[in-house]
Amino acid sequence: MARNPKVVAAYSAMANLGIHVSKVKPVLKKLLKLYDKNWELIEEENYRALADAIFEEDENKVPESEPEPVHKKKNKRVGEGRADDEEAHLQDEPLQPLKRSRFRGQETQSLHPPSSSGPSSAAYPLKIPKLEDGTVPESSYGQQHQSTAVLSDGNAQNETHQLPQRDGIVDKGKQPVSPHVTYRRRRLTSERAPPAVPLIIPKDEPVDDMPKFAVPLAMILPEQSSGRDYSIDNGASEKQDGHDTVALPCRDGEVGAQDILPPSHEVAASNVEIASPALGEVNAAEKQDGHDTVALPCRDGEAGAQDILPSSHEEVPSNVEIASSAVGEVTAAEKQDGHDTVALHSRDGEVGGEDIQLSSHEEPASNVEINLSAMGEEGTVMITPSVNVSMEPDEFETLLVKGNKDSVMPCISNGSINDLSSADMVAPQIPDSKPYPSGLDDAVPVSKKVGTNDFIESDDGKELVDAVYPNSPSLTLVSKHHPTTEIRTCQDVNDLTKGEENVKISWVNNTSTDCPPPFHYVRRSVVFRDAHVKISLSRIGNEDCCSTCMGNCVLSSKPCFCANKTGGEFAYTAQGLLKEEFLKDCIAISHHPQNYYYCKDCPLERSMSDGCLEPCKGHLKRKFIKECWSKCGCGKQCGNRVIQRGITCKLEVFLTLDGKGWGLRTLEDLPQGAFVCEFVGEILTVKELHGRNLKYPKTGKCTYPVLLDANWDSRVMEDKEALCLDAGSYGNAARFINHRCFDANLVEIPVEVECPEHHYYHLAFFTSREIAAQEELTWDYGINFDDQDQPFELFRCRCGSKFCRNMKRSNRSTRSSIAR
Ligand SMILES: C[S@@+](CC[C@H](N)C(=O)[O-])C[C@H]1O[C@@H](n2cnc3c(N)ncnc32)[C@H](O)[C@@H]1O
């Protein structure tokens, strides 16, 4: 099934004509190929060419009464992988509309034999094999360094790699499929490279239009009456002494709070899973004394505080799962010894101040689950949050915060639009004056003016004035581009984390008055709905923790159990950096095709299946880091607890000058192997992700997905275990990291913190080399730019790397526009 919004849009246009997707798919592929992926031609006249082609194909089909034998059909699908077959097939079927729309030059264009790139992956950054045309730059750190040096001389040395080998890939028990063949088929379906085009050419194209990245829309709701100052930290989370609190918004001004208080005051990471609804009820987290506190909202102003207090005073934080559903309910359930006990809560504003004392004093610790999922689940009591929206994140528009406290803004509650006084809403983010560092992106003083309705607007050359703090000189709040019905909130220029992180992360735009897209900043990933992320101490066996350790495990002469998963040695040095050897291996892994695993029953393909299941495109088997955690005896400062301590380096979000949109950069020099941040987002099943993509094909609102498939080779993954992270609406600073082909300065590494089962893990970014202050941080999304079958809109890569995998493509499109 299509994942690319364009493909999905085509499917949906055909569905409107009553044409089933299974008929559309093969024809669309041919059309794409024939049109050299020129979507404009396909989209013309509401997909007329496509519809014509399908009808024509139908007419030419063998009559229903003589169906093709199943085995033949299957083999044919498999056989589609063969270049000659597909070529012949296409040439045998010169569909009329295709002829009609052919470009000049295409008549003579011969199909190019497939180049030997790696298997394509389904998503960006759903990690994909990166090999392109069999040629990649040196992969290891040391090699990369060398390669970088060489690059500057313009004499890059490439290393040719073998194609990925797939063992025993069988299409539904039929003939084994040659990995090569399957791979080729993928390439052929989406690519028609003109002959003799250099595969990698230096990038010298001018930067023209801005990239078309989707702006994930989100709504930030206010927290009221919680005693905090929301004028700046609206809906934000606060940390106090280590407690995790999630404050959910309340509509009518009286935020309720449930505290889930794990006994341990020393745990490094709480066991709290916060899942968000599509919409954003989960607004804030607060930490106090190592307690995990979840503040839930009331709907009509009567919420009190619910505390869930595990009574054990030994190790172990509570196992709390909070998830949200599309309908916005919050459910809380406490499990003990396999029983579900009730965690309370109200709908309709009747929440009191219940405390739940968890009785377990030993492990397995209590499992408290709070789900914002389907109503009426057994053993749960629901809380309906103030904003009860049965929508996906993108389904409703975001709020633009006005400086005028008396103004009225729409808010969606229970699925309908209500008017809310802005006093109930988020207060404006008032940035302070901020001197920006010099360098490439040195701040140009931003002009200001007061717009109507006290909006802060920029207007070419006129001064922007902060309506509330008129002396604030570098205000860059923006309201332009937003229709009146669409209300957005701007990010705090000094700290878009809203206090979630240990460090502030500012943003800067030196070239325009735009501010970063609104989204909910969350420090940790949150379950959306179906994802099975079970954090349970009872699942952490003795071999998965070091309960007898003390102090700092990394300094100990004998590595403890926690080093077992990294070959008996810790991945980190005593200084908290990744060991060079380990880092080198991690970088090299993604460049070697033999490290790709091909599922027999791929959850990704399964989730997108439209009746014709395609073979798995491959998943990279990665090296994991395993960190010590709550069940370990070591202290919070143990050197084997790096990513769980969160971001520590100085980062800044900035508007790039080369057309990539916003990016993330470091404000300080970083050594090689330093942890920068993890990729945080909503935890979705791949099925849910696919649902999102299908739902919003035309809006251009994209997901920002990362597939958590590093361990899919271990067994057949159930749907609820095949997960990804989507940072479109909920995310952290990592959502701003742009892509760079091959020689990115960050590498992503899976890290086990609290889940020994590796279907869920943290994806952490480490520096692959030294990085100087002001350098943009990049990682290789692993995109195969020639694979149209992606769950996001492919962008034109402007990474600037000499190894850019999108070169060919740029070259091709230039060529076809010339041909036209
Ligand atoms: C995860 S977001 C990164 C942050 C994004 N630049 C923003 O402004 O929100 C991914 C999007 O950034 C843009 N992008 C990332 N890397 C790029 C690159 N190398 N060239 C062009 N656009 C890029 C694309 O639009 C892509 O869809």
Residues 760, 683: Cα–Cα separation, whole Å: 9
Residue 217 pLDDT > 70: no
Beta 330-336 vs 339-342: how paired, if at all? antiparallel
Q: Which atom of ligand 1 lies at the shortest distance from residue 735's CA?
A: 1
In a domain, 405, yes or no: no
Together in a domain, 72 and 127: no
Residue 185 pLDDT > 60: no
Q: Express each pLDDT in 729-750 by its tens digit.
A: 999 999 999 999 999 999 999 9
Q: Express each pLDDT in 141-168 by its tens digit.
A: 333 333 333 333 333 333 333 333 333 3
Ligand 1 center–CA 661 separation, angstroms: 6
Domain endpoint, select from 102, 126, 148: 102
Residues 140, 147: Cα–Cα separation, whole Å: 10
Output the pLDDT for position 762: 98
Residue 577 pLDDT > 80: yes
Q: Express each pLDDT in 404-452 by its tens digit.
A: 222 222 222 222 222 222 322 222 333 333 332 332 222 222 223 223 2
Using a 6 Å cutoff on CB, does residue 597 contact ligand 1? no
Together in a domain, 549 and 666: yes
What DSSP designation does 423 have? Answer: G
- pTM to 2 decimal places: 0.53
Q: Express each pLDDT in 686-697 by its tens digit.
A: 999 988 888 776
Residue 266 pLDDT > 80: no
Could you tell me if 630 and 754 are in contact, meaning their C-beta atoms sit under 8 angstroms apart?
yes
Together in a domain, 337 and 252: yes
Q: Which atom of ligand 1 lies at the shortest distance from residue 212's CA?
A: 25
Using a 6 Å cutoff on CB, does residue 325 contact ligand 1? no
Together in a domain, 538 and 684: yes
Spatial CB neighbours of 66, under 8 Å, sequence gap ≥ 6? none
Output the pLDDT for position 657: 95
Mean pLDDT across the stretch 513-519?
A: 91
Output the pLDDT for position 114: 31
In a domain, 483, yes or no: no
* Best mutation site among 215, 657, 778, 795 for ligand 1 pocket (most ligand atoms within 8 Å of CB): 795
In a domain, 216, yes or no: no
Residues 566, 577: Cα–Cα separation, whole Å: 15
Could you tell me if 49 and 55 are in contact, meaning their C-beta atoms sit under 8 angstroms apart?
no
Using a 6 Å cutoff on CB, does residue 662 contact ligand 1? yes
Share of the chain above pLDDT 90, in %: 30
CA dihedral 697, 700, 706, 708 (to 10 degrees): -20
Together in a domain, 671 and 818: yes
Could you tell me if 335 and 341 are in contact, meaning their C-beta atoms sit under 8 angstroms apart?
yes
Mean pLDDT across the stretch 544-561?
A: 94
Could you tell me if 136 and 143 are in contact, meaning their C-beta atoms sit under 8 angstroms apart?
no
Using a 6 Å cutoff on CB, does residue 700 contact ligand 1? no
Q: Note the ipTM here.
A: 1.00
The Cβ-side half-sphere exposure at 352, using a 13 Å CA radius, reads: 5
Spatial CB neighbours of 115, under 8 Å, sequence gap ≥ 6? 132, 133, 134, 187, 193, 199
Residues 309, 302: Cα–Cα separation, whole Å: 22
Q: Tell which residue, 297, 280, 296, 281, has the closest CA to residue 519.
A: 280
Q: What is the mean pLDDT of the chain?
A: 59
Q: Residue 363 — very low, low, confident or very high, per pLDDT cuts 50/70/90?
A: very low
Helix (H) or strand (E) holding 355: strand 355-358
Output the pLDDT for position 791: 61
Mean pLDDT across the stretch 112-127?
A: 37
Together in a domain, 621 and 496: yes
Output the pLDDT for position 16: 79
Using a 6 Å cutoff on CB, does residue 735 contact ligand 1? yes
Using a 6 Å cutoff on CB, does residue 345 contact ligand 1? no
User: What is the number of structural domains in the chain?
Assistant: 3
Angle of CA points 793, 799, 805, to nearest 5°: 70
Residue 513 pLDDT > 60: yes
Using a 6 Å cutoff on CB, does residue 30 contact ligand 1? no
Q: Residue 50 — very low, low, confident or very high, per pLDDT cuts 50/70/90?
A: confident
Q: Dig out the tokens for 15 from the structure.
A: 């569905």
Helix (H) or strand (E) holding 60: helix 39-60
Output the pLDDT for position 74: 34
Mean pLDDT across the stretch 393-414?
A: 29
Residue 529 pLDDT > 70: yes
- Full domain range(s) for residue 62: 1-102
Output the pLDDT for position 61: 66
Together in a domain, 567 and 683: yes
Output the pLDDT for position 26: 80
Domain endpoint, select from 383, 403, 432: 383
Residue 367 pLDDT > 60: no
Together in a domain, 116 and 97: no
In a domain, 398, yes or no: no
Q: Which atom of ligand 1 lies at the shortest distance from residue 778's CA?
A: 16
Angle of CA points 83, 85, 87, to nearest 5°: 65
Mean pLDDT across the stretch 218-233?
A: 29
In a domain, 423, yes or no: no
Q: Residue 131 — very low, low, confident or very high, per pLDDT cuts 50/70/90?
A: very low
In a domain, 221, yes or no: no
Residue bearing the CA closest to ligand 1, atom 10: 738
Output the pLDDT for position 30: 81
Q: Which amino acid is at 23?
A: K
Using a 6 Å cutoff on CB, does residue 760 contact ligand 1? no
Output the pLDDT for position 503: 97
Residues 294, 311: Cα–Cα separation, whole Å: 17
Q: Residue 702 — very low, low, confident or very high, per pLDDT cuts 50/70/90?
A: low
Share of the chain above pLDDT 70, in %: 44
* Best mutation site among 124, 654, 660 for ligand 1 pocket (most ligand atoms within 8 Å of CB): 660
Q: Dig out the tokens for 601 from the structure.
A: 């029953």
Residues 146, 159: Cα–Cα separation, whole Å: 13
Ligand 1 center–CA 739 separation, angstroms: 7
Low-confidence winner among 62-76, 623-637, 802-816 (lowest mean pLDDT): 62-76
Q: Tell which residue, 329, 331, 327, 349, has the closest CA to residue 340.
A: 331
In a domain, 471, yes or no: no
Helix (H) or strand (E) holding 97: helix 96-101
Residues 332, 356: Cα–Cα separation, whole Å: 11
Q: Residue 13 — very low, low, confident or very high, per pLDDT cuts 50/70/90?
A: confident
Mean pLDDT across the stretch 285-297?
A: 35
Using a 6 Å cutoff on CB, does residue 798 contact ligand 1? yes
Q: Express each pLDDT in 81-90 by its tens digit.
A: 333 333 333 3
Q: Which atom of ligand 1 lies at the shortest distance from residue 662's CA?
A: 8
**398-402, 517-521, 685-689, 748-752: which has the highest mean pLDDT?**
748-752
Q: Residue 533 — very low, low, confident or very high, per pLDDT cuts 50/70/90?
A: very high
CATH of the domain at 116: 2.170.270.10
Spatial CB neighbours of 637, under 8 Å, sequence gap ≥ 6? 552
Spatial CB neighbours of 286, under 8 Å, sequence gap ≥ 6? 237, 238, 239, 240, 243, 244, 245, 246, 247, 293, 295
Using a 6 Å cutoff on CB, does residue 739 contact ligand 1? yes
Together in a domain, 57 and 127: no
What backbone torsions phi and psi does residue 682 show, to the nearest 5 degrees? -75, 135
In a domain, 472, yes or no: no
Together in a domain, 610 and 714: yes
Residues 101, 50: Cα–Cα separation, whole Å: 11
Q: Dig out the tokens for 687 from the structure.
A: 């099925």
Together in a domain, 377 and 317: yes
The beta-strand segments (E) located in 709-808 are: 723-731, 738-739, 746-752, 762-767, 776-779
Could you tell me if 257 and 284 are in contact, meaning their C-beta atoms sit under 8 angstroms apart?
no
Residue bearing the CA closest to ligand 1, atom 4: 736
Domain endpoint, select from 364, 383, 402: 383
Q: Express each pLDDT in 593-624 by its tens digit.
A: 788 999 998 998 888 776 778 889 899 999 99
Q: Residue 181 — very low, low, confident or very high, per pLDDT cuts 50/70/90?
A: very low
Q: What is the DSSP string of 548-591?
A: T--S-GGGSSS--GGGGGGTTS-SB-TTSPBPHHHHHHHHHHTT
Q: Tell which residue, 533, 509, 503, has the closest CA to residue 656.
A: 509
Together in a domain, 290 and 179: no
The answer to whether the peptide bond before residue 364 is cis (omega within 30 degrees of 0) is yes
Q: Express each pLDDT in 772-818 by its tens digit.
A: 999 999 999 988 888 776 666 788 999 999 999 987 644 444 443 33
What backbone torsions phi and psi does residue 665 show, to the nearest 5 degrees? -135, 165
Could you tell me if 422 and 409 are in contact, meaning their C-beta atoms sit under 8 angstroms apart?
yes
Could you tell me if 702 and 666 are in contact, meaning their C-beta atoms sit under 8 angstroms apart?
no
Output the pLDDT for position 17: 80
Q: Residue 763 — very low, low, confident or very high, per pLDDT cuts 50/70/90?
A: very high
